[in-house]
Amino acid sequence: MSALPILYSFRRCPYAMRARMALWISGTACELREIKLSAKPPELLAASPKGTVPVLVLPDHAVIDESLAIMRWALARHDPEGWLVGDDHALINLIDGPFKHHLDRYKYPDRYENEPGNARADHRGECLAILSDLNFRLTDRASLLGERRTLADIALFPFIRQFANHDRIWFDAQPIPRLQEWLERHLASDLFAAVMDKFAPWAAGDPPVRFGPSLP
């Protein structure tokens, strides 16, 4: 296990989700260290002082501490489904930037005390406008860039899941049927199920936990 990369992760973090999905599909086995964000282990902070997940520590001690960089690193090693063809920076930046900005203020209004009273509804509306554009994109295709899932689909999916889950009844009532179908396919996928196993928070001295597809 010591020869494997070490992945610091948090099961529910959307950034960590997309990194885990890329690592899994690429066949990259790792030693998984599940993190409790309120009690970050010193080993994580030593590897990446900013203290966010995911963090991938390679056997040569190089550190990759951005989710998209982890995805691209893994897929550059092995990309069996051709995900890198769909590395659409503009589309990914739309979700990581404006959508995430509005999502945070919709989901966590108490963190933004200077916002006006109706801001939460406004931020939800801004998110919906972006998702409506994605719904239109899906009119004639199963995935965001064609018929097959690519890096763009996987990079966006955890954040759209997070938005939908905050008020699922409201989300399901919106006129974005193609995007709702797209989301359901990803939620029901074997890949998503494979990367969502639950693990206890890691502590130094714990037996290593292997993450990755089973060896043939």
Q: Which two tokens stand for residue 214?
A: 């089973």
Q: Are residues 113 and 188 in the same domain?
A: yes
What contacts 175, CB < 8 A, 6 or more positions away?
132
Q: Are residues 89 and 71 in the same domain?
A: no
- pLDDT at res. 117: 66
Q: Which long-range contacts (CB under 8 A, 24 or more apart) does 138-143 make?
A: 138/178, 138/179, 138/181, 138/182, 139/178, 142/182, 142/185, 143/86, 143/182
Q: Are residues 22 and 115 in the same domain?
A: no
On the question of pLDDT at 215 being above 60, the answer is no
CA dist 137 and 143 (Å) reads 9
Q: Are residues 146 and 68 in the same domain?
A: no
Query: What is the per-residue pLDDT across 38-84, written as a single tens digit (0 to 9) for each?
Result: 999 999 999 999 999 999 999 999 999 999 999 999 999 999 999 99
Q: Are residues 38 and 124 in the same domain?
A: no
Q: Are residues 69 and 162 in the same domain?
A: no
Q: Are residues 74 and 95 in the same domain?
A: no
Asked if residue 119 belongs to a domain, the reply is yes
Q: Residue 198, SS3?
A: coil
On the question of pLDDT at 175 being above 60, the answer is yes
CA dist 138 and 136 (Å) reads 5
On the question of pLDDT at 216 being above 50, the answer is no
CA dist 14 and 11 (Å) reads 8
Number of domains in the chain: 2
Range with the poorest average pLDDT among 1-10, 13-22, 108-117, 134-143: 108-117
CATH of residue 106's domain is 1.20.1050.10
% of residues, the chain, pLDDT over 90: 91
CA dist 136 and 177 (Å) reads 10
Asked if residue 216 belongs to a domain, the reply is no
Kindly indicate the confidence band of residue 3, based on its pLDDT and cuts at 50, 70 and 90. confident
Q: Are residues 137 and 180 in the same domain?
A: yes
On the question of pLDDT at 168 being above 90, the answer is yes
Q: Are residues 69 and 153 in the same domain?
A: no
- pLDDT at res. 128: 98
Q: What is the mean pLDDT of the chain?
A: 95
Q: Are residues 183 and 112 in the same domain?
A: yes
Asked if residue 181 belongs to a domain, the reply is yes
Q: Are residues 143 and 77 in the same domain?
A: no
% of residues, the chain, pLDDT over 70: 98
Give the bridge partners for 6, in sequence order. Answer: 31, 57
The domain of 64 spans 6-81+194-211
- pLDDT at res. 214: 76
